[in-house]
Amino acid sequence: MKNDTARKIVAKNRKVRHEFEVLETVEAGIELKGPEVKSIRAGEVSFQDAFARVEGGEVWLHSLHISPYEKANRFNVDPVRPRRLLLNKQEIQRLASQVNEKGLTLVPLDVYFSRGYAKITLAVARGRKLHDKREELKRREQDREARRAMEAR
């Protein structure tokens, strides 16, 4: 029997962990048109400057580029159109209050399939300053060197 609860990660936004300090993550469904699902399954997703915004009691994902599916020529839609994210009302209200009050932002971490449905992991994040990025890189390098020294013993 096939494991239906497995997550098949299609694309990851690797830049987020460098550019932002991730405070919390939320799983959301994505409202897609037919050919977009096939493009995502093929891995044709780009996170370049993608972000989410709470507008009118709904969460919208902006600037996520899903390439047009070649075999669906006339049914394709705009590759960077805003897409509605599917969350329940309490989650939307909580995210809206965090983003408005604390100056945080919503950024996508990854796109994956769970039980046949396309899902996205959103992060409530705070932007890092340049010196914070440098400190993070130094800390990672020190951890890496410490691990190597322990393995060499």
Q: What is the pTM of this model?
A: 0.80
8 Å CB contact between 65 and 79: yes
CA atoms within 13 A on the CB side of 76: 15
Q: How many domains does the chain have?
A: 1
8 Å CB contact between 43 and 12: no
Q: Assess if residue 104 is contained within a domain.
A: yes
Structural domain harbouring 13 = 7-128
Structural tokens at position 29: 């469904």
Q: How confident is the model at residue 2 (pLDDT cuts 50, 70, 90)?
A: low
8 Å CB contact between 96 and 7: no
CATH code for the domain in which residue 71 is found: 2.40.280.10
Q: What is the pLDDT of residues 112-129, one digit of tens each?
A: 999 989 999 999 999 888
Q: What is the pLDDT of residues 47-104, one digit of tens each?
A: 998 999 999 999 999 999 998 888 877 777 888 899 999 999 999 999 999 998 887 9
List Cα–Cα distances, 12 to 60, 63, 69, 77, 80, in angstroms: 19, 15, 20, 22, 17
